[in-house]
Amino acid sequence: PSIVLFFDEIEELVKERGPDHKGGSEGLITLMTRMNEGRLDPRIIIIAATNKYDMIDDAIRDRFKNHTMVPRPDLSGRHDILKIMTKPLSLSANVDLKSMAKQTHGLSGRGLKKIVMGSVDEMILRGRREGINPRVISAADCANALDTEILGLESKLKLSALEKEATALHEAGHA
């Protein structure tokens, strides 16, 4: 029998070392040292995943035999992911998952999950505002969650005309 060790978001454990050569957790560094020295039991299989490949120290990265890059899902993949994630939920008939998939170009499964969970949160908030206990996620709930994930939370900050002009000039400087 083998033991599979799976590290998700491994970059949190083995961040690239700074000039002082410090970084990563002590336990994982010990494990990687044993991998390097061949002292690890061959029945132990180590698998790691990351969305931030460039943050992992080269010395750690090189200890892994195979590297597989998984691209972000295409339109069909995003649609399939949304169907799977919303399967246990009650959606209004006007919720169009295909349209949501079209609006989420470049998002990973994690981003799509945040939109689905955000839709549930929006349904609950709508229920509180309206004094009801909704059981169905509406298209508006999904649209609000999508906007929040892609654009961020709406700012309630009130800027004066002078502050708006200064901000516009600053942003134009970036362009």
Q: pLDDT tens across 119-143, in order?
A: 999 999 999 999 998 999 999 999 9
Task: Specify the 3-state DSSP secondary structure of 7.
Answer: strand
Q: Is the pLDDT of residue 28 over 80?
A: no
Closest CA relative to residue 79, chosen from 103, 62, 61? 103
Q: Is the pLDDT of residue 16 over 70?
A: no
Active site residues: 171
Confidence of residue 25 (pLDDT cuts 50, 70, 90): low
**Mean pLDDT across the stretch 2-22?**
72
Please give the Cα distance from 90 to 116 (Å, whole number).
12
Other Cβ atoms less than 10 A from the Cβ of 96: the count is 13
Buried/exposed code over 38-77 (b: 16+ C-beta within 10 A; e: otherwise)? eebeeeeebebebeeeeebbebbbebeeeeeeeeebeeee
Q: What are phi and psi of 28, to 5 degrees?
A: -70, -35
Q: Is the pLDDT of residue 87 over 60?
A: yes
Q: pLDDT tens across 141-167, in order?
A: 999 999 998 888 777 788 899 998 998
Confidence of residue 20 (pLDDT cuts 50, 70, 90): low
Please give the Cα distance from 91 to 29 (Å, whole number).
46
Contact 10, 56 (CB under 8 A): yes
